[in-house]
Structure 1
Amino acid sequence: MDVRVDDPNNPALADLLRAHVAEQHGNVPHGFAFALDADALSGPDITFLSAWDGDTLAGMGALKQLDATSGEVKSMRAAPDYLGKGAGLTVLDRIVATARARGYRRLYLETGTTAAYDAALALYRRAGFVSCPPFADYAASPHNQFFMLDLGEN
């Protein structure tokens, strides 16, 4: 798979991104879903990535800079035909590598608590993410959980 920096407004990504945002907002009560749409993912503090299998979109994800030493994983999603086939891991590996190259010491993520998030949680835990308190502007709730990956001193 080829992972590349991409524009979240790329029409080839629209259906997957739209489905991601709709699902995230559908899995938790109003006010507890933090999935970003294409405009928000276009911000200067976000690096948006897409994974391709030839000409077929396999997945996407983003890295949001929180401060000079930390970032947040955002908008991780594998395309339906690529679920369980390594697209998520490929994108996550690139996000982690980018964070390390930038000298980040920590990488965070926020996700839901229902069974719909089980596969993603397994991926994050396999990658070394561990539970942590809320970070940035997030608040603890029964609908959200928080993880951190210690990248060490760079």
Structure 2
Amino acid sequence: MEIKKDDLTRAEVAELIKEHLQGVTLSSPPESIHALNLEELRRPNITFWTVWEGTDLTGMGALKEISCSHGEIKSMRTSSSHLRKGVARRMLHHILEEALKRGYNQLSLETGSMDSFEPARKLYETFGFKYCGPFADYKEDPNSVFMTKELR
């Protein structure tokens, strides 16, 4: 498995982002969807990576800089054809390493509260993320779960 910083120009990357957005749309009401589209992922405060197995795109993830000491995990997704191969675990490890290199004190995320998001929540828990209240510009929402991890 190889993780590469991505410029979001390849068709297969756009397709995985589309799959991600469709997946959250099926599980969440529109007002509770915080997933980013292709253009939003190109913002200068976001770094986007893809995970490859040879020529197969297996997953993606992004790190958004909230402040010089606080980052947010965005757009974590494993391709539906590569589930349960450790792709998400590998990407999460990579994002954590990058957050430490940047000197962040805290790494946070928002995910869904519905059953379909339980595997993601369990993964974050195994990496030491704790449940918390809304951060940055988020508001309290019964369809959202907020998690954070102190890095220092």
The alpha-carbon deviation at position 12 of structure 1 amounts to: 2.1
The alpha-carbon deviation at position 86 of structure 1 amounts to: 0.4
Matches within 5 A, 1:5-84: 5-84=5-84
Q: Which residue is equivalent to 2:115?
A: 115
Moved more, 115-124 or 25-34: 25-34
- Please say if residues 28 and 143 of structure 1, whose CA atoms lie closer than 8 Å, have aligned partners that are also in contact: yes
- TM-score under structure 2 normalisation? 0.97
Q: Post-superposition, which runs of at least 4 consecutive aligned residues in structure 1 deviate over 6 A?
A: none
**SS across alignment from 1:138:** coil
The alpha-carbon deviation at position 141 of structure 1 amounts to: 1.3
Matches within 5 A, 1:75-154: 75-152=75-152
| Identity among equivalent pairs (%) | 38
Listed one character per residue, the Cα deviations across residues 26-76 of structure 1 (whole Å, up to 9, x for unaligned) are 211121100001100000000001000011011000000000101000000
* Residue type at the aligned position of 1:73: I
Distance 2:9 2:43 in 1: 11
* Residue type at the aligned position of 1:112: G
CA RMSD of aligned residues (A): 0.9
- TM-score under structure 1 normalisation? 0.96
Q: Would you say how many aligned residue pairs link Structure 1 and Structure 2?
A: 152
Distance 1:30 1:78 in 2: 22
Listed one character per residue, the Cα deviations across residues 90-119 of structure 1 (whole Å, up to 9, x for unaligned) are 111111111000000000000001111011
